[in-house]
Amino acid sequence: MSDTDLESRFTTEMDENMDAVIDSVMKKYDREFNTRLWTGSAATFIKFLSAAFSLYCIYVTLFSTAMPEIRLNVFLGLILILGYLHYPIKKASGYISPSPSDSISISLALDMKPRANTIPFYDVIIMLAGAIPFFYFAWNAESIIKLALRVTSPRNPNYYMMVSLAVMAIVSTMELCRRCVGIPILCVVGALMAYAFSTVRFGKVIYDLFYSTGDGLRSTPIEVCAKYIVVFIIFGAFLERTGISTFFINLANAIAGASSGGPAKVAVISSALCGMVSGSSVGNTVTTGSVTIPMMKRTGYKPEFAGAVEAAASTGGQIMPPIMGAAAFLMAEYMGIPYSQVALKAILPAVLYFTGIYIAVHLEARKLGLKGIPKEELPRILHLLPKIYLLLPLVILVVMVSMNIYTMQFSAAIAIGCAIVVGLFNSEERITLKKIVDALEAGGKGTITVAVACAMAGLVAGCITSTGLASELITMVVNVSGGHAFIALVLTMICCIILGMGVPTTANYCIMAATCAPILMAPAIGIEKICAHFFVFYFGIVADITPPVALAAYAGSAIAKAPPMKTAFNATKLAIGAFIVPYIFAFTPTMLFENVQPIIEIAGAGPVLTSILVGLEIALICATALLGIFGVAAALNGYLYSPINPILRVIICAGGLSMLVPGIVSDLIGLMLVGFVVTVQYMKRQQVPAV
């Protein structure tokens, strides 16, 4: 068989087996999907165990009055049991290779076929060795708390047992992290632990990492995970089963499908909507990309561009209010503000991010002369209106959270109930008892990775606290940057991107919030608290599309059958707003609606007039920022009405950047520069004789 015939056969089989392709890509680029294969009664047991864990978490977060030492230890113990039941020691563990002659099957299955219902004895030992200490701590919480630091003092008669329990729990949790999260974060944790053990008494470090509630495994990240994040993960699982993803894709098609290069715009809109529900850049890239990427390629976009559009848009789903992924709840806790305010402050940066991508794909379509999807092949808005009730769970969640009357976990629980009711009315994807159990199972399984990542972030915070490393880091960065905020921001950006390579956003943010955010907030640097936390949050997210380890871009390239590195560089260029905007709001908090002053100071203005003037100032910030992102996108694409020469590209880029900086002078300069280039381009187009 010739190479051409083999490639044709492979392409046909890829199209006919999209589910298998999605599964193989997810297993390659997302560790969460590299799980054991359970079938029959074993699968049923694991399913109901995961579902029961979700129900337990909902019950505890709503009704439990137990002390944190009991709640969090039981939570972590159950996470370890579920984690080791789901994740094998390595990707190839418990797998049988298919026939070497079956090249297509090998490609689809990533050279592996799972062996069902196997868990090695050593995994059972590691699982029990890790879970038992947590349950022991929960059972004896009061006596252990009374002992305080004496619990790991050599004078304690049970010293060796207490230390052994702590070591087993820490090591077992780190091993589970390696399996389901990845090695990069373990390198950070391992280095900090080595430093801590070399500078602080062994027993003190063990106490801080395991027995202390304020630091270590049971610090803020795991508390927020057990209290808020797990319920919202379960809510997202239920929301997906109501058919809302299909509704979002159809809505995006109805809005933008017929315009120039429509499929790419559909990818941007649908990924923004679906991404805020899924919270996973890789997962969103693969699921929505399986629909949008082939459409983009058929329209005429290059494969690497199609994969990049989907990867960039899907990654941005984590910054899209109102859900914003798990890290947003941690941001609210670290910054000490309500979650509703976090979502509000994220609106303008998120709009700028997706507007930049949307403009870029529009200009690319104009440059290539691409058409949209024929209108007769697209859903009509009027036909989608009867499905508008699918948005009800999201609307109820946003309203309840914004009112600040009910707790976030109670609001999420009500939204889960609403999602079930809404799903009963969707005749095309009606929710059933099986789907309810599946959603609970997915929620329980999805919690494992987030909880383990939060636990690792707690270990990082514990090591920093034990050693007093935070002050040393601040001194070092201030010395290296010379006290210049911009240099400190660049160093922080590099740290976020390096640490974010293959590390979940939640863990990345927790670590950067414990290490780099305090550095940026130091008096010598002077970045405001909220701006510092948003800065590290954004750059932790864009690590998923930044070479050389751009997992979302690589997943998009696999679906598009494009070169991975080309796809990653295209995605980085498309998401340029995410690299620029954080620097803008770091220096000008008004972009995050912080310290907004009236557009005009009027003596004796009443509260109503002052509110109107503040509203005008916010509107001006939004308008000029959108024009600014347009200028930057046009400069990067090199096309407006016609190809832009290098000098004009520099001018429009400078104008766009000027308008991104809030301020009357910078806005006027930017408006003149962008307006000049647009005028020149328009006049040049008018001078071209009609053919």
Q: What is the pLDDT of residue 101?
A: 38
Question: CA 509, CA 491: separation in Å to the nearest integer?
Answer: 15
Q: How far is CA 434 from the centre of its chain?
A: 28
Q: What is the pLDDT of residue 77?
A: 96
Question: CA 675, CA 658: separation in Å to the nearest integer?
Answer: 13
Q: What is the pLDDT of residue 336?
A: 85
Coil, strand or helix: which one is 81?
A: helix
Q: How far is CA 272 from the centre of its chain?
A: 12
Q: Which two tokens stand for residue 116?
A: 């069902």
- Determine contact, residues 649/638, Cβ cutoff 8 Å: yes
Q: What is the pLDDT of residue 133?
A: 96
Sole residue written with tokens 């009443």 = 606
**CB atoms near residue 143 (< 10 Å):** 9
Instruction: Pick the closest to residue 456 from 507, 520, 527, 398 (CA basis).
Output: 507
Question: CA 513, CA 141: separation in Å to the nearest integer?
Answer: 29
Please name every residue paired with 37 in a beta bridge, in sequence order, or none if there are none: 116
- Determine contact, residues 598/614, Cβ cutoff 8 Å: yes
Q: What is the pLDDT of residue 473?
A: 78
Q: What is the pLDDT of residue 495?
A: 83
Please list the ranges in the chain whose pLDDT falls under 70. 1-33, 91-114, 275-280, 323-326, 502, 596-606, 610, 686-691
Farthest CA pair distance, the chain: 94
**95: enclosing H helix or E strand:** strand 95-96
Three-class HEC string of 131-151: HHHHHHHHHCHHHHHHHHHHH
Question: CA 427, CA 243: separation in Å to the nearest integer?
Answer: 10
Per domain, the residue ranges of the chain are 28-465, 602-691
